[in-house]
Amino acid sequence: MKKSVLFVCYGNACRSIMGEALARHHWKDALEVASAGLSALGYVPEETLSVLEERGVSTHGLYSKGLAEVELDSFDLILDLLEYPLERLMPPSFKGKVIHWHVRDPFAESLDGFRETRDTIEWLVTEQLPKWIDGE
């Protein structure tokens, strides 16, 4: 059965959107991937899209959404990119695990700031995510 991962940040505009796009890019159909924010910004900044497209990562279908728009209990793994105590927001039916890994928010920074964040998240997706998916 295919594992599912939810990337979470504050506004679902930079970090978690990058996580969703990069995981889809690197994992193809091996994972179900989504993203959401504690308080959705409501749009994805052009810088987020630009730094993903620089790497040939599809941005098709990406949009900013809140936690209420996803079924939290349907995910095997929730990757918290802002180190917020998400466990208290999980429904009793949630059986997955939450991993807290702070990634700097590049919102309102230069393209270089967005690139640094993208590179950090790409490392998480390619190097750390396989360990978490396999249960290490």
Domains in the chain (CATH in brackets) are 3-133 (3.40.50.2300)
83-113 pLDDT per residue, tens: 999 999 999 999 999 999 999 999 999 999 9
Residue 37 pairs in a beta bridge with: 9, 66
Q: pLDDT at position 134, please? A: 81
6-61 pLDDT per residue, tens: 999 999 999 999 999 999 999 999 999 999 999 999 999 999 999 999 999 999 99
115-134 pLDDT per residue, tens: 999 999 999 999 999 999 88
Is residue 135 pLDDT above 80, yes or no? no
Q: Quick one: tokens of 4?
A: 């599912």
Tell me how far the alpha carbon of residue 103 is from its chain's centroid: 10
Running DSSP on this structure, what letter comes out for residue 66? B
Task: Name the band, by pLDDT with cuts 50, 70 and 90, for residue 1.
Answer: confident
Q: Give the Cα separation of 111 and 129 in Å (integer).
A: 25
Task: Give residues with Cβ within 8 angstroms of 136, minimum separation 6.
Answer: none
Task: Give residues with Cβ within 8 angstroms of 104, minimum separation 6.
Answer: 113, 116, 117, 120
Between 1 and 107, the higher pLDDT residue: 107
0.85 surpassed by pTM: yes
Burial 55-65 (b: 16+ CB within 10 A, else e): eebebeebebb
